[in-house]
Amino acid sequence: MAKLGVGVLGVGTMGKQHAYNLRHRIPEAQLIAVADTDMQRAKVVAAELEIEHYFNSVEALAERKDIDAIVVVTPAKFHGAAMKVCANAKKDIFCEKPFTLTVEEADEILDLTQKVGARVQVGHVRRYDPPNVRAKQRIEAGEIGDPVIFKSLARDPAPPPVGYMASGVNGMFFQDSTVHEFDLGRWIMNDEISEIHAYGAVLVFPEIAQYNDIDTALLNMKFSRGTLGAVENYMQSGYGYDVRTEIVGSKGTIITGYLQQTAEVVMTAAGSRTDVVDHFLLRFADGYLNQMRDFVQTILADHPTKVDAFDGRQAVAVAAAAERSYREGRAVEVQNRKRP
């Protein structure tokens, strides 16, 4: 069997998971090397995964002939520069969300990758979460008639360490977190978000204010064919990682998402208890594996990717419109592009 040679750039929380899946759970992939500006981290991860090569730059991955595709899992600020190196070396690319931090850079990478013929898949994992996949299939089969309202909520258990914002290398709330909802809405409604009105606030994590970021947001959206959307995003549920979506149609409704991870309920005189999903790596474990497997199989089969640079770019544009709407206190039109 021909295997896809893969290198992973950035082996922090998310990159390590992708590297693990490539090494142990996707037989069509050969994990050739990992790279991280923290060379010690790259060395440790390479040892843990029992692979030979580790480096400290994307260039080192890109110059290897046995690497066909590069998985970019650095903080968002570096996605664009890394993708440029990959594209210019004619490597196919998997890039974590958000695709880039600015619309201008997203356009540049979209155009460059199209020009050189490098395929791109963006890590919008919600599209590979089994309940969402089934919801999409049911909608396409007409089970709920025409979709009319997209509602989604995402609550993290607790804010990230303050260093996450202080570093200045990660996206702000709409870019980093709500972007999942924007992509899911576009995909599940099979439409573009055309207008957005975002409210945001600092309500539970005062340290975030000095970085001009927010911890709580409510957003209303219009899709280009006239359907509507509403999203809640919150950093501190206090109880778990709570992600739920509802698609209301002309003939029915589908709800996806769950809060209880295991099939256990403990009932005593004190009451009834269940566990709660507490981390994204647990909640979306299947999604992360399914999306990476699909990337590897798609590239090997020489097919177009299903969540491509254009999708990444459009979600970045919605996040930019949300940011502007929140700052200016008014509804803002999304700067959408037509699919090239």
Is residue 12 a contact residue for ligand NAD (CB under 6 A)? yes
Among 5, 123, 147, 229, binds ligand NAD (CB under 6 A): 123
* Residues forming a β-bridge with 337: none
Q: Which is nearer to ligand NAD, 160 or 297 (CB)?
A: 160
Residue whose C-alpha is closest to residue 310's, from 169, 180, 136, 192: 192
DSSP SS3 for 53: strand
Residue whose C-alpha is closest to residue 245's, from 230, 260, 227: 230
Structure tokens at 219: 């957003």
Q: Which is nearer to ligand NAD, 12 or 149 (CB)?
A: 12
Is residue 96 a contact residue for ligand NAD (CB under 6 A)? yes
**Number of residues in the chain:** 340
The span from the CA of 138 to the CA of 144, in Å, is 7
How many residues lie near ligand NAD (CB under 6 A)?
A: 24
Is residue 80 a contact residue for ligand NAD (CB under 6 A)? no
Site for ligand NAD in 261-320 (CB under 6 A): 280, 284
Among 4, 29, 122, 125, binds ligand NAD (CB under 6 A): 125
Among 37, 220, 236, 261, binds ligand NAD (CB under 6 A): 37
The span from the CA of 67 to the CA of 70, in Å, is 7
Q: Which is nearer to ligand NAD, 4 or 72 (CB)?
A: 72
Is residue 40 a contact residue for ligand NAD (CB under 6 A)? no
For residues 337 and 320, is the Cβ–Cβ distance under 8 A?
no
Among 73, 139, 172, 318, binds ligand NAD (CB under 6 A): 73
Give Rg (Cα) of the chain: 20
Q: Which stretch binds ligand NAD (CB under 6 A): 72-80, 212-220, 236-244, 248-256?
A: 72-80
Among 7, 29, 41, 221, binds ligand NAD (CB under 6 A): 41
Is residue 11 a contact residue for ligand NAD (CB under 6 A)? yes
73 residue type, one letter: V
For residues 37 and 56, is the Cβ–Cβ distance under 8 A?
yes
| Other Cβ atoms within 10 Å of 231 Cβ, number | 26
- Least distance CB 77 / ligand NAD (angstroms): 8
Q: What are phi and psi of 318, to 5 degrees?
A: -65, -40
| Residues at the interface with ligand NAD (CB under 6 A) | 9-15, 35-38, 41, 73-76, 78, 96-97, 123, 125, 176, 280, 284
